[in-house]
Amino acid sequence: MASLTGASIASSYTSLLKLSGNTNTLADGTGSNAIQVVDGDGTASNLYLNTDRIGIGGQPSQDAKLMITGGAYNTSLVIKGSGTNSGIVFYDSDGTHDGTILAMNSAIGFLDAGGDEMIMADDASGSEQIRFGITGTTRMKIDSSGNIGIGTVSPSAKIHSTGTILIDQSAGTSNSAVLRLEADRGSADQDSGEIRFYNQGGSDHDYARIIGTRGGADNSGYLSFKTSEAGTEGTALKITSTQDSDFQSNYIVNEQGRQNHVANTMSSPYYQFDGVDDKIASAETFQTTFRNSFSISALVRFEDGQPSAKQTIFGLYDGTSGIEAVQLLLLTDGTLRFIFTIDSNSATFTSSAVFGDGDTGWNHIVAVADESSDTIGVYLNGNSLGTTSTSSHVWTDYTSSQPPWIGARNLNGGWNEGMQGSIQNLKVWNRYLSATEVKDDYSGASVPFKYKGANQTNISSFDFTSGWSASSGASVVDSNSFSVSASNGQGIYKALLTVGKSYRLVLAGTMPGGMSMSVRNSAGGANEIGSGFGTYEFTATDTSIYLRVSGATGQIDVSAFTIVPIGAVAEFDGSGAGEKVWGDKSGNDLHGTVDGATLENTPYDSGTEYEEGTATIVIKQTNGSNPMTMSSSSATYTKIGRKVTVNGYIATSSIGSCSGAIMLTGLPYSLINNNNAYTSVNVGYAGGLALGSGTEGQSIGGYGLINSSNAYLHVWDGTDGTSALTADKWSDDGNIMFSITYFTA
């Protein structure tokens, strides 16, 4: 530092720094520019001074005490401490310490008045990071990989929070709060985002997930809800792109849902098949049904979703003349297959694997065949698994006279590819079920009224001379022709239908050029259901069919005209399930004979189990030997709960070697083994017997033998009471009509 000594001061000097400008303005610094400092030779510096402001590199702002303008980022302002740290300390007007900007080693940050971090950026540990603190605790951290931790100093994801996250859109705005999970997905079934629920307690495992997945079409997608049990994850619920809820064959508990769904989940009798020789066989071939669109639906439970052998739900293979086949089955890899073969032309649809190894849940499976589009396919639990073409088929060429079996494939009359598992609620439909109708059936809905009473019989009389009426200007020519003499809309009509029922109309023929035909569902000409010759399905709103033509006059020749009620032609549900017969509830009496399959889940003595069937009754000696030769042995029975009623007519052509006391054998169920359960045989008519002279006033009756399927026959008279009816009192042409009602176990 320079100093002056002595008593004199130099009278002249060289200027080192001076102020350039009107120095009088220093007194009024708040309203005037600062004065620039220049060096002794007049070179301007970057320093500007005012009474209350300093500018470096330019004029200071009038509201800034110090303003630095320009310069590189690392030379604009340098603060150098005396040790390893440097900083800027802030005080308020009374000298209280408010906070510090601190630089130390490779860090810079803001400290509060107590010296605790508020914001700190450093790379002292070799890992760059920014920390945000409150009251001495780090509340948020951005690490070197860009992960943000909220409530944690070790973030493991882009945003890692240890507490609750609230997304709140202020009230009164037009937009709601949004959490958006976004990904670029160019093909179907790719996950776009998910929410995971994770257990950190030892196992470190996801225990639940919600996943959003791109669907098969543009701008479509679905949600999957997955849960885990003991570390094994499964899909609990899937919400499809069409807003259907797929419960993946899982149970629905504690639900008060729609009635149809509740009906579907209630207990119902079903049949258990052993996969060895069990089957249910109807005598019905469904030949007419399989010549048009049809569907097969059932509730099925396999013992294993990936079994060791093929498992048939419903099947036939007839190779007696060419090959005709209809089969719905499960393959060993968990795929479902539907085969439809006509005259050795086979169409086969096979799904992707839909069942896992060990899957045992109930599933709703539907095979659909659509003649109009020439396709077949399969639905699983209301969802389509796809289709395949049947373009090589001539559907009307289906001619098999063999019946398909339930629970096994009828292979030319022999058991094959049987199922190990359970079946209930099986239906055969003579129409292609729509996607909506499949879902209705899956939900447990009853067969709707319009599809009740469907059958395979043509209800129309293809004879225009029988019961058909003609409008003015039209007339019936013969059994398959009519003509019109005017071109303004004339024709013939007949009442054939039941209002509210659904039908399939097949119409073929020829008509003059320039003529058009409108097929209508009313005698008055309203309710058009089709135009021209073709096949039409409709629900009747009127009782009549009207063939109305216009555009030209002349004769119309019809080569085919059939009307068939469409819907469920066979309906096997729990109310018709019996030990020996699975009753068809459609009204067509296509009952299935139970062969080996076990009836399960039946109500005990509730009277709700209903069964109908036939029995073969034979007369034998009471020791069970020497049967008579029967010329007629027709008997029918009904079983409601445990109560069995048999009505029959039997006749013989030869007594043969039968001798001694005789009995009826072959009752459909054994009588209960209870001494209080004896029951009587009532004989309403008898003929051809040899009771002998002096038997006037005698009558024939009998009683059921407990713990057996036999009934003893007795003769009663007013003098001697009852005695056993013996073979010598029965003639070769003997016959009786009888009935017996009893309880079975």
Task: Please report the DSSP string for 31-95 in residue order.
Answer: GSPPEEEEETTS-EEEEEE-SS-EEESSPPPTT-SEEE--S-TTTS-----SSSEEEEEEE-TTS
Q: How far apart are CA 102 and CA 125, in angstroms?
A: 18
Asked whether the domain spanning 469-565 has the same topology as the one spanning 265-454, the reply is yes
Q: What is the dihedral of CA 89, 92, 94, 97, to 10 degrees?
A: -40
CATH 2.60.120 corresponds to the domain 469-565: yes
> Is the distance from CB of 359 to CB of 303 less than 8 angstroms?
no
Q: How far apart are CA 24 and CA 75, in angstroms?
A: 33
**What DSSP state is assigned to residue 726?**
B
Using alpha carbons only, give the angle 56, 61, 64 rounded to the nearest 5 degrees: 85
> Is the distance from CB of 320 to CB of 367 less than 8 angstroms?
no
Map residue 28 onto helix, strand or coil. Answer: helix
Instruction: State the pLDDT at residue 474.
Output: 95
Using alpha carbons only, give the angle 291, 292, 297 rounded to the nearest 5 degrees: 105
Nearest CA to 509 among 479, 486, 485?
479
Phi-psi region of 374 (alpha: psi -120 to 50; beta: other; left: phi over 0): left
Q: Residue 291 corresponds to which tokens in the numbers above? A: 């010549």
**pTM for the whole thing?**
0.63
Q: How far apart are CA 331 and CA 334, in angstroms?
A: 6
> Is the distance from CB of 362 to CB of 350 less than 8 angstroms?
no
Using alpha carbons only, give the angle 50, 53, 54 rounded to the nearest 5 degrees: 90
Nearest CA to 190 among 199, 182, 179?
182
> Is the distance from CB of 268 to CB of 573 less than 8 angstroms?
yes
Nearest CA to 236 among 222, 252, 248?
248
Instruction: State the pLDDT at residue 256.
Output: 40
Q: What is the end-to-end Cα distance of the chain in Å, rounded? A: 126
Contacts of residue 694, defined as CB under 8 A and 6 or more positions apart, other chains included, come to none
**What DSSP state is assigned to residue 677?**
G
Contacts of residue 251, defined as CB under 8 A and 6 or more positions apart, other chains included, come to 265
Please state, in angstroms and as integers, the Cα–Cα distance from residue 448 to each residue in 244, 297, 502, 567, 574, following that order: 21, 15, 10, 9, 17
Please list the residues that pair with 364 across neighbouring strands: 299
Q: Residue 139 corresponds to which tokens in the numbers above? A: 């509340």
Q: How far apart are CA 146 and CA 522, in angstroms?
A: 75
Contacts of residue 188, defined as CB under 8 A and 6 or more positions apart, other chains included, come to 214, 215, 216
Q: How far apart are CA 447 and CA 584, in angstroms?
A: 13
Neighbours of 444 (CB within 10 A): 19
Q: Residue 441 corresponds to which tokens in the numbers above? A: 């059936």
> Is the distance from CB of 546 to CB of 522 less than 8 angstroms?
yes
Nearest CA to 643 among 681, 589, 680, 606?
606
Q: Residue 469 corresponds to which tokens in the numbers above? A: 């009426």
Q: What are phi and psi of 435, to 5 degrees?
A: -60, -40
Neighbours of 235 (CB within 10 A): 16
Instruction: State the pLDDT at residue 404.
Output: 98
| Arch. (CATH architecture) of 265-454 | Sandwich (2.60)
The letter for the amino acid at 342 is I
Q: How far apart are CA 656 and CA 652, in angstroms?
A: 10
**What DSSP state is assigned to residue 353?**
P
Instruction: State the pLDDT at residue 364.
Output: 95
Average pLDDT across each block of 10 residues of the chain; the chain has 745 residues. List them in order.
Answer: 48 52 43 71 79 81 79 65 71 74 72 78 75 86 90 89 80 70 80 82 74 84 88 86 78 48 59 97 94 96 96 96 94 98 96 93 96 96 94 94 97 96 97 94 90 87 90 94 91 94 95 94 87 94 94 95 95 88 91 94 62 91 95 91 93 95 95 87 90 69 94 82 89 95 91
Instruction: State the pLDDT at residue 243.
Output: 83
Map residue 437 onto helix, strand or coil. Answer: helix
**What DSSP state is assigned to residue 646?**
E
Residue 111 half-sphere exposure toward CB, CA atoms < 13 A: 18
Ranges of each domain in the chain? 17-68, 85-159, 191-248, 265-454, 469-565, 606-743
> Is the distance from CB of 456 to CB of 430 less than 8 angstroms?
yes
